[in-house]
Structure 1
Amino acid sequence: MTAGTALGGGPGPRRSPALRRALVAAVAGGVVLGGVLVLLPDRSRDSAPPALGPAGRAAAAVGAGAPAAMPDLTVLIGAREAHLRAHPGDDQSWAVLGSAYVERGLRTADSAYYPKAENALRTSLRTRPERNVAALTGLANLANARHDFRGARKWGEQAVRLAPRRWAAHAALLDAYRGLGDAKGVGRALAKVRKLRSGAAVRIRSGAVYRDRGWREDAAAALTDAAALAETPAERAACLYRVGELAWERGEPGDALRHYDAALAADPDLHPALAAKGRALASVGRTSDALRAYRAALARRPAPEYALELGELYESLKLRPAATAQYDLLRERVRQGGLGGVNDERVLGVFEAEHGDAGAAVRRLTAEFKRHASPENADALGWALHRSGESKAGLKHVESAVKKGPRSALFAYHRGEIERALGRYGAARRHLTEALRINPHFSPLRAPAAHAALKSLGDPPEGGPAQVYAPRGAPIPKLPRPTKPSRQSD
C-alpha cells in the first residue's frame, strides 16, 4: 500500500518548524490504559514538555508516558497524516502515526485502527530498517493492544537490544511480560524502567506490578503518588481509576465510587472508569444508575468484557432477554475485534464456561493458556475444566493462579467451588469464606452463589479432623523412624 493510499487526500497545511520538530520527535511505547509512550532521548529524567498546540500537547503527553486527551490525539493524527502526504519518506512520522492509531484504537475499542497502525509502523520499518527503535517499540505496543503478548515480547526485546537505555522500550516489554505471566521478566523490566525514569508513568506501572503480586498497600501508595505527580487531566484520571480498582478489589465499593467519579471528572472519555462505576453502583443497590453507567460505557467503547458484565447484571435481575442481548453483543464484538487482529479468546472462553459450551471453553482456554500463561488465564482454564466435568485438573490450574496471581475474590471462589465438588469440604468452606471476605460484592452472580454454597456446607463438625485431634485420653501415636536412603536410589 502506498503512502497516498494509506492516508488519502492531498497534502495538508504546513506546520511551524517548532511544532513539526516536536511531532517528529514523538515515538510511541508501552500501553497502560491507552497511554502511548514515546521514545525520546533522555536529556533529563523529568524534563517539562514544551507549551504547544493540541497536536504538540498530544506528542508531549505521550512523550512523558501519559495518556493524551482525545481531542488532542485527533489533531495529532490529522497533523501526521497531512505531513506524510507531503513527506512519505519520514520514518519517524510514520512511527508517530502508527502509535497514535494504536492509542486511538484502545480509547475507542475500534479495532479497525490496528491494521492502520500496523501498516504505518511497518512502513516506518521499511523506510529505515536499521536501528528503528521507534517502529519496533510501536509494534510491541500494537501487539500488547491486540493481546498478542508473545509478539509484544519479540518486538520489545529487539527494541531493548538496540536501545538499552530507552525506557519506553522496557515499558512495552514490561507490559508483554505481564501478559505472559513471566514474573521474572516483569521484575527485570520494572527495575530497568525505574532506573531509567521517574514520574507518574513509572509509578503507574509499579502499582500495576505490585497489585499483580498481591501487595495492595504498596500498589495503592504508588498509584496515589502517580496521581499527585500527574501533569495532565487524562494522566491523573488514569491513576485515580486504578486506585478505585484497588478499592473495589478489597471490597470497598464506596471508596471505589469516589475514585471513579474523580477520574471521570478529570477525563470524561475514560470509559473503563464508567464501566467500573456501573459495577460498583450495582453492588450498593443502585441498580438503575448502574445500568445507565454500563450503557454509557458500552456506547463509548463497546468492549466484550463490558457486555459480559452487563449481561450478568441483567441475569442477576432475572432479565434474561436483556442478558442474552448483551451476550450476543459480546460474541459480535469478539468477532469484529478478530478482524483487527485482537485476541479476545480469554473473554470468550470465560463466557462460554459460564453461559455457553464448557467444552468449547476448555479448547479455547487451553490454547490461550499455552500462548499466555498468566494467572488470569490459569484461573479461567481451571474453571472451564471444572465446568466441563474435569474438576481435579481444573483445581491444579486454579491453585496455580491463586499462588502466582493477585489476591482475588474470584480466584478464591473458583477454588472453593471446585473443592466442594471434590468433597474437600473444609478447604471449600475456607476458600469460599475467603472470597467473600476479600470482596463481598465481587460478582452479581457468583457472590450469591458463594453464600449459597457456604449455607449448603453448613458448620464444620466439632472436634476437628480425626487425624489431627485424637480422642481424649488416647495415647499419642509414635512416628516411625526415618529410613536411610539407599545408595542405589539415584
Structure 2
Amino acid sequence: MTTPTALTTRQRLPRKATLWLLAAMLIAGATLIYRSLSTASRSATMTSHTTAIAANAPAAVEQAQVRLQRAPDDPDALAQLGIAWLQQIRLTGDASLYANAQRVIERALALDAHHSDALAARGALALALHDFTGALTWADRLLAVNPYRAAAYGIRTDALVELGRYDAAATALQRMVDLRPDAESYSRVSYLRELYGDSDGALTAMQMAVSSAVPGTEAWLWTLTHVGHLQRSRQRLAEAEAAYRQALTQKPDYAPALAGLAQVLAARGEERQAIDLLAPVAARLPLPEYLVLLGELYAAQGDDARAQQQYDLVRVVQQLNAAAGMAVDLELATFEAAHGEDAALALTQAQAAYAARPTLYAADTLAWALYRNGRYNEAQHYSEEARRLGTRDALLYLHAAEIAAALGDDAGARAMLDQALTINPHPSPLASLQLAALNRRLHANKP
C-alpha cells in the first residue's frame, strides 16, 4: 500500500519550520509505550503559553497552584494546572497524578464548557489514559469551539492512529501541518511515514521537527532522541549514538536518550555496558519499556533471575497504571505474548486488545499469541494484516518468518527472515537472539 499523498508530497510541508513550541507535547506517547522505546510516545498537544512547563514540570505545578490560590475559579489557571500535572506525569511516570489532572481540568470545563485550553488538556488526558474514542470526542468539541486549533487535529491524529484508522489520521494530520508546521506536527508526520514504510521520509520529517524546536527544550530533546531511534532502526548505529549524545550534552539524565544509547550498546554486543547504563534509569523511572529492555539485557547475559525481576515489575507498573484509569490491554498483551509463560492468557488478552484497538501492532501481537498457542494458520492471517502498510519493522518480519516456518513453508520463512535481517538484525536484545536462532535453524534445514 502506498503512503497517503498528504504524507509523501514534500512540497506540502514547508522546508523551514517555525519556532512555535507547545510545552506538553506527546504526553500519551509511550504507547505507545511498549513498542517505541515509545513508544512512545507520540501524542497529545498543549498550548503555547505553557512553554515553561517543559523545562521544569514540578515548578510549573507549584506556580500554577499559587496562581489558582489567588483565583480559585479561574478556568485559565485550572487549565494551566491540569497541563502542568500532565507534563509532570510524562516526565516522572507517576500515573497516580492523573486524578489530579482530571480533577482540575474538569473543574475548568464546569466553569467554562468552551474553554479551548481545557478542552485540549482533556483530549490530551484521554490520550494519556488510552481512551482513544473519548479523545476523538474531545477533539471534536475543541474544533467546534475553534476550527483552526492545530492541537485538536493533533489529538485527532493520535487517536485515529491508535484505533488503526490510518488514512483518516493522515487527513487530520495534513490539516494540522497546514495550520501549524512545528515540532509536534512534523513528529507525527514522521511516525505516519514510518508506519507506511517510508523510512527516509520519516527521518526527514523528524529532523524537521528538531529544527523547528528550540534547542535545549523538552521538544528538542524528544525529537532529537527520536532521530536517534530512527537511525538505529536503519542500522546506523554511529548516527544514532551521535543523536543520543547530543541530547545528553543538554540534559545528561535524559532517560529516553540514555535508554536509546543502551540499545546502541546492546546492538554492538556490549550488553554489560548497556545494563550498567540502563539500570539506574529504570530504577529512577520504572517505565515498562525500560524494564522490558533491562530484562532482555539480563536474559541475554544469562541472568534469568534478574530478568524475571524486571518482568515482574512490568506487571506491577501496568497494574498501577490500570488502577489510575489507563487502558493497558494492548501493552499487557504485547508483553505477555513476548515474555509471559501463560500462552493462553496472552491470547485472551491479545484478542481483547485487538477488538478494542485494531492497529498494526495489535494485529502483530495477536498473531504472535496465536503462534504461541499453535494456531498457525490464524496467526499467519493476522501477521499479514500487521504488514499491510509496508511498515519496515524487523519484529513484524521475524514473527512472520517464525509463523511460516511453523507451517512448514521454509522458503517463505527465509524470505521473511531475510527481510527482517535487512531492516535491522538487532531490533531488541530478545529479537536479536530469535533472529539468529531462526537463521541457524532455517539454514540447517536448507536443502
TM range (shorter): 0.7 to 0.9
**1:397 matches 2:388:** no
Instruction: Report the Cα offset of residue 411 of structure 1.
Output: 0.2
2:131–2:327: 8 Å Cα contact kept in structure 1? yes
1:414 corresponds in structure 2 to: 399
SS at match of 2:45: strand
Matched ranges for 1:274-423 at <5 A: 274-354=258-338, 355-404=340-389, 406-423=391-408
Code of the aligned partner of 1:375 = L
1:334–1:344: 8 Å Cα contact kept in structure 2? yes
Aligned with residue 223 of structure 2, among 228, 239, 242: 239
**Distance (whole Å) between structure 2 residues aligned to residue 433 and residue 195 of structure 1:** 39
1:164 corresponds in structure 2 to: 147
Code of the aligned partner of 1:140 = G
Residues 362 and 232 of structure 1: is their aligned pair in 2 closer, same or farther, counting only changes over 3 Å? same
5+ residue gaps, structure 2: 1-21, 30-40
2:46 corresponds in structure 1 to: 38
Residues 144 and 228 of structure 1: is their aligned pair in 2 closer, same or farther, counting only changes over 3 Å? same
SS at match of 2:263: helix
Code of the aligned partner of 2:408 = G
1:123 corresponds in structure 2 to: 107
1:42-81, Cα deviation, whole Å (9 max, x unpaired): xxxxxxxxxxxxxx7xx2367xxxxx11x2x222211111
1:376-404, Cα deviation, whole Å (9 max, x unpaired): 11111110111011111111111111113
1:229 corresponds in structure 2 to: 212
SS at match of 1:233: coil
**Distance (whole Å) between structure 1 residues aligned to residue 249 and residue 132 of structure 2:** 32
2:87 corresponds in structure 1 to: 103
**Distance (whole Å) between structure 2 residues aligned to residue 36 and residue 423 of structure 1:** 44
**1:75 matches 2:59:** yes
How many percent identity over aligned positions? 30
**Distance (whole Å) between structure 2 residues aligned to residue 451 and residue 364 of structure 1:** 28
2:190–2:206: 8 Å Cα contact kept in structure 1? yes
- TM-score normalized by structure 2? 0.87
Q: CA RMSD in A?
A: 2.2
Instruction: Report the Cα offset of residue 298 of structure 1.
Output: 1.0
Instruction: Report the Cα offset of residue 461 of structure 1.
Output: 7.0
**Distance (whole Å) between structure 1 residues aligned to residue 393 and residue 134 of structure 2:** 28
1:236–1:266: 8 Å Cα contact kept in structure 2? no
2:376–2:403: 8 Å Cα contact kept in structure 1? yes
1:435 corresponds in structure 2 to: 420
Code of the aligned partner of 1:132 = H
Aligned with residue 60 of structure 1, among 51, 54, 75: 51
Instruction: Report the Cα offset of residue 364 of structure 1.
Output: 1.1
Superposition misfits of 4+ residues, deviation over 6 angstroms = 26-29, 459-462
Instruction: Report the Cα offset of residue 190 of structure 1.
Output: 0.9
**Distance (whole Å) between structure 2 residues aligned to residue 261 and residue 142 of structure 1:** 31
Instruction: Report the Cα offset of residue 231 of structure 1.
Output: 1.3
Residues 107 and 34 of structure 1: is their aligned pair in 2 closer, same or farther, counting only changes over 3 Å? farther
Q: Which moved more, 1:148-157 or 1:323-332?
A: 148-157
**Distance (whole Å) between structure 2 residues aligned to residue 311 and residue 29 of structure 1:** 29
Code of the aligned partner of 1:231 = V
2:363–2:386: 8 Å Cα contact kept in structure 1? yes
Residues 201 and 325 of structure 1: is their aligned pair in 2 closer, same or farther, counting only changes over 3 Å? same
Residues 170 and 269 of structure 1: is their aligned pair in 2 closer, same or farther, counting only changes over 3 Å? farther
2:3 corresponds in structure 1 to: none
Q: Which moved more, 1:444-453 or 1:334-343?
A: 444-453
Residues 438 and 225 of structure 1: is their aligned pair in 2 closer, same or farther, counting only changes over 3 Å? same
**1:190 matches 2:173:** yes
Instruction: Report the Cα offset of residue 277 of structure 1.
Output: 1.6
1:426–1:460: 8 Å Cα contact kept in structure 2? no
1:318-355, Cα deviation, whole Å (9 max, x unpaired): 10111111111111111111121122322322232233
- TM-score normalized by structure 1? 0.79
Of the two structures, which has the highest relative contact order with CA contacts closer than 8 Å and spacing of 6 or more?
2
1:443-471, Cα deviation, whole Å (9 max, x unpaired): 32232322322332238878xxxxxxxxx
1:139 corresponds in structure 2 to: 122
Instruction: Report the Cα offset of residue 203 of structure 1.
Output: 1.8
**Distance (whole Å) between structure 1 residues aligned to residue 61 and residue 110 of structure 2:** 20
2:81–2:104: 8 Å Cα contact kept in structure 1? yes
**Distance (whole Å) between structure 2 residues aligned to residue 337 and residue 261 of structure 1:** 31
Aligned residue-pair number:
412
1:456 corresponds in structure 2 to: 441
2:394–2:420: 8 Å Cα contact kept in structure 1? yes
1:133–1:163: 8 Å Cα contact kept in structure 2? yes
Instruction: Report the Cα offset of residue 226 of structure 1.
Output: 2.1
